Amino acid sequence: MTIAADRKAKILIVDDDAPIRTLLYRFLNQTYQVKVAADGQTALEIFEEFNPVLVILDWNLPDTTGYKLCQEMQKRTNVLVAILSSRTAQEDRIKIL
């Protein structure tokens, strides 16, 4: 059984690394409606229009941090956010909790 395209869950991928964006998009687009952004401003514009149920968010973006963008998105809705990061510092881990 397949879900109609207009009823598929929506996912927003935000990452400034094009290969990572492409990899995630290709994998997730098989099952979900997916949109991508390479920076925070574009991400917020898409977020408002697209209304995703999940945001996959890079910590380091060219115009903001993933943490700040997550806070802004959480102010608007209770969207689920998965943070992608190579950071290992404990203070970074605690900050996103």
Residue 62: CATH number of its domain: 3.40.50.2300
How far apart are alpha carbons 37 and 56 in whole angstroms?
10
User: How many residues in the chain?
Assistant: 97
How far apart are alpha carbons 34 and 9 in whole angstroms?
9
* Domains contained in the chain, number: 1
**Which pLDDT value is given to residue 4?**
57
| Angle at 78 (CA atoms; ends 73, 82), nearest 5 degrees | 70
**Which pLDDT value is given to residue 84?**
86
The residue written with tokens 């999940």 in the block is 54
Percentage, residues of the chain above pLDDT 70: 81
| pLDDT beyond 60 at 93 | no
| pLDDT beyond 50 at 77 | yes
3-state secondary structure of 69: helix
β-bridge partners, 13: 36, 56
The model carries a pTM of: 0.84
Q: Across residues 39-65, what is the average pLDDT?
A: 96
pLDDT band at 19 (very low <50, low <70, confident <90, very high): very high
Which domain does 76 fall in, by range?
5-96
Q: Amino acid identity, residue 36?
A: V
Q: Across residues 71-78, what is the average pLDDT?
A: 93
